[in-house]
Amino acid sequence: MKILLKELAKSQWQVRLDQHVVTFRSESEARNFMRTLESRIQAPHSIPVLQPQRAAG
């Protein structure tokens, strides 16, 4: 996933994650959000094990 930071105006920053966009009032807020996203993406994730379904009857 590609995370981008863009300055829109003097006090408006945008973080893009693919097609998702979040706007912030300051660069520090935007950078904190980016760090949170990156750490969550890089965190280990477990794949849930599905229990086999029993046939009705």
> With contact defined as beta carbons under 8 Å apart, do 14 and 21 qualify?
yes
**Which residues are bridge partners to 12 per DSSP?**
9
Burial of 13 (0-12, 13-18, 19+ CB in 10 A): buried
Domain ranges within the chain, ordered by starting residue: 3-42
DSSP state of 56: P
Q: Hey, what are 54's tokens?
A: 């029993």
The answer to pTM > 0.85 is no
Q: Assign 3 a pLDDT band (cuts: 50, 70, 90).
A: very high
Please write the tens of the pLDDT for every residue from 18-55. 899 999 999 999 999 999 999 998 998 888 888 777 76
> With contact defined as beta carbons under 8 Å apart, do 37 and 17 qualify?
yes
